[in-house]
Amino acid sequence: MKKIVHIIQDNNLFIKIFLVMVISIIAVSIFITISSIRMSSNLFMETFSITNTKVLTQIKDRFNTFSYSVVSTSIKVDENGTIKRRLQEETSNDIEKSRSYYQIKTQMERIFAEIDPNEANLIIMSLDNEIFNMNYFNWPVKGTELRNHPITKQTEARTNEIIYQFDQSNLTNNIPMVIVSKALTEHSTGKIYGYQYVSIREKDLRSFYEGYTSEGNNVLLINSSGQIISSNFHQKIGEKEPKLLQTAKNIENQGIEYLNVNIFNEDYLMLAEYLPTLDMYIVNLVDKDKVQSNLVDTNEIILISTLIVLIAVFIVFLILRKMTVSISKLVNQISDMARYQFTKPLEETGGYEAKKIANSFNYMLNELHDYVEILLRTQEKQRKAELEALQHQINPHFIYNTLASIKFMIKQGKKETAFNTIDAFISLIQNALGDVDELITVEQELGNLKNYVLINHARYGDRIKVNYLVSPDCLHLQLPKLVIQPFIENAFFHAFTKKKHGYIQILMAQRENSLVCEIVDNGDGINEEKIDRKAIGMKGKRQLFSGIGVRNVHERIQLLYGKNYGVNITSELNKGTKVVITLPIIEELENQK
């Protein structure tokens, strides 16, 4: 017994949470089941059937309105003396035909304006197959086709009736359409002098009831032969369903509200209304399962579930708050530290365990900070030492060859050239031996480049031309020392091993909030796949003057300013090489003040 009590005490938190969750789940399940059963059984049978009966009555009224509109149109056409006279008289020339056509169309426009719905079409045809069509684009029928069609034959056989017929043949361009026809006859003799047609497309007829349909709630319009002439079951339009027609007749004859039927291999609740003016039936097929699922009051279920969840959460919160508040606070502090407060120590509050964890974590954090600072200082010193060592290791051959060239110039009597070379050499040495982290202006760097080029031209001649294109708005901007010079040196001594003559262009300008320096030559070039290995990738290749290789420049720029800056080299064999150096905009100190 003591062992059981001890287990319960050790797992007290788990047991409380588990019990609350089980009770909540059971309660939610019970309430949802009760609510679903109650609403499905009561509301469906009592409410839905009554509602749909009223809906069918409204749909029936809409069809009756259309029928009355057709009857009214037929009477107006039949009583219109102009239409009757023009259809019966013979026209001998084109002028009379045009006048007759105009007069008939004018009379038809007045009558057509009162047809409901507006999507319906009115056509009058004379005995010589001349068509007067109020909406040709709605039904572009020809007189000869219409005259010889069974629709007209039926109309001739039942001269005193308004006949509703369905067609989706070539006559209607295979578009499902209901055509209401009547023969125009002389009252005294009964002789036919023309034909009247009111057509409406099935998709327009569907608008009479489409707003009342939904998933599982379907409407069909069936004529006296059992043919479905309109429905939201699009695939059923035009098919004959004698069983459906007979069931609709049974509902009408027996005066019952609905029947449970099996139609189209599905179980439905069926309601029906007879349209005497059209001699058709409106059938309403209701899929009880689908509609019943839609009738479940989801708001009530959501409300009940929400209340239970809120109560359960509140109880769990009260139980756990006292037990876990200090640990939760500790977790939140660590989470915040991981995101944006890495240097902020944890508050040592709460119970013994929380204080102990916070104290140990703070000690570890302090040790980590100290280690990181030492590591960063060491790396910075190492980087600076490497750059200074490389910078100060000016190649002895460069010094020796430069001094020898100056001596040779003096012997030849080229004192002015020798003096200029000495001045350029002194300026170049002073710049190279300065502080490696010093920033100089673009104008100063341009002067150093010109000094270096002057020395090389004095030693080797001017077979390699150098052009400078520098935007004036860049001259005051600053950049690190010895950033451009290694690439000029690389171009002089490695780009023209096969070609003996060529040019080097130096371009500097501001572009997209960056200082962009381009060194372009038309030398031997390099295969594109070998650029990294030949240029940036080679740490070991020393430059003849500064000792700073092009890879050192790239790494130095990225170390100082980030990954958005650095060196990019493109080249094409036998066409030349292009080096693009991207640096941030750094204003001169005087301008900043």
Strands 266-275 and 259-263, by their bridges, are antiparallel
% of the chain at pLDDT higher than 70: 76
pLDDT at 296 over 90: no
Rounded mean pLDDT of 96-102? 82
Helix then strand then coil, in percent of the chain rounded to 5, is: 55, 20, 25
CA atoms within 13 A on the CB side of 389: 7
- Supply the pLDDT for residue 283: 93
Secondary structure (3-state) at 319: helix
User: Looking at the predicted structure, is the pLDDT value of residue 581 above 80?
Assistant: yes
Q: Where are the beta strands (DSSP E) in 264-349?
A: 266-275, 280-286
73: which residues sit within 8 A by CB, 6+ positions away? 111, 112, 114, 115, 122, 196, 198
Whether residue 274 has pLDDT greater than 60 = yes
* Res. 163 pLDDT band, cuts 50 70 90: very high
Cut 0.85: pTM above it: no
343-395 per-position pLDDT tens digit: 677 777 766 666 777 788 778 878 877 787 787 777 666 666 555 554 444 45
Could you give the dihedral angle defined by the CA atoms of residues 221, 223, 226 and 229, in that order, rounded to the nearest 10 degrees? Answer: -50
Cα–Cα dist 223/240, whole Å: 9
Can you give the three-state secondary structure of 372-391, one letter per residue?
HHHHHHHHHHHHHHHHHHHH
